[in-house]
Amino acid sequence: MPRIRPAVTQTFVPYIYNKTEICCLLSKTRACQKYRFCAIDTPTLRMVILTLYATGMLVGEALRLCRDDLDLKRGFISINGGRFHRARRIPIGPDLRARLERFLRSRKRHKPGAENLFVYKDGSPIGPGILGKSFQRLRRLAGIRRRDGAVYQPRMHDLRYTFAVHRLTSWLRQRADLNRLLPALAAYIGQVGLGSTERYLTFTPERFRKQLSKLSPKRRKKRWRDDPALMKFLDELYETH
């Protein structure tokens, strides 16, 4: 009998979309949903992507949203807990608030009786299976794919990771106190502990700035961090991820 080989540990690495790719996804929604067989209309698919990217909520949480869960006057969304009962009420920014108001006005004209926020063309609630297939078709149409040799292609769930990494990147650039803000981020996206939230730091290049600064000895007249070309490369690391 052949010798039993040890199991190979597969380390899954989420895909972090850059802002250009997010804009490309949104711009291609019309071309993606132009076919008659598409059960989801263009405004709904675009709004789902915007909501996931702007809030970091899970796909299932977004699909369970109802119109009564939105308090757009105060700028809050109530998220019902799913498998882990992570019910919470989160604030939203003015941009997402304005787009949701516009989306709801169009919904009242076309589907006044639908309770769920995101529904098919016939008014029934969207299921994760068809939504996932629509997103993969959109991703291919936008030309977004992994080039790091990974087996899995970018997923809709990766918008959650993208939200967290973009938020952390903004805080790091502002020199904010992560010891205070990481618990807030964990509560916002519905995580129980900080362990899951801290892993997002591994996808944020700016977290290594302090370690890189130690490699620049002050006794030398010219230091690597004084090289504008190198610093530009470090600043663009995130965008080319």
Q: What is the pLDDT of residues 177-191, one digit of tens each?
A: 877 788 888 888 887
Other C-beta atoms closer than 10 Å to the C-beta of 74 total 10
User: For all residues of the chain together, what is the average pLDDT?
Assistant: 81
**Residues 62 and 128 both lie in one domain:** yes
In the predicted structure, residue 154 carries a pLDDT above the cut 80? yes
- Pairing, β 88-91 against β 70-71: unpaired
Residues 224, 220: Cα–Cα separation, whole Å:
10
**Residues 52 and 116 both lie in one domain:** yes
> Any idea which residue has 């105060």 for tokens?
74
**Residues 46 and 117 both lie in one domain:** yes
Q: Is residue 12 part of a domain?
A: no
pLDDT tier, 236 (very low <50, low <70, confident <90, very high otherwise): low
**Residues 110 and 180 both lie in one domain:** no
The whole domain housing 211 covers 158-235
**Residues 170 and 129 both lie in one domain:** no
**Residues 43 and 118 both lie in one domain:** yes
Residues 215, 119: Cα–Cα separation, whole Å:
54
pLDDT of 141: 95
**Residues 198 and 97 both lie in one domain:** no
pTM of the model: 0.78
**Residues 102 and 185 both lie in one domain:** no
pLDDT of 161: 92
In the predicted structure, residue 233 carries a pLDDT above the cut 80? no
Residues 236, 9: Cα–Cα separation, whole Å:
31
How many domains would you assign to the chain? 2
Query: Does residue 99 or residue 148 have the better pLDDT?
Result: 99
End residue of a domain, out of 79, 114, 142: 142
Mean pLDDT of 6-26: 82
pLDDT of 148: 81
Tokens of 184: 């807030």
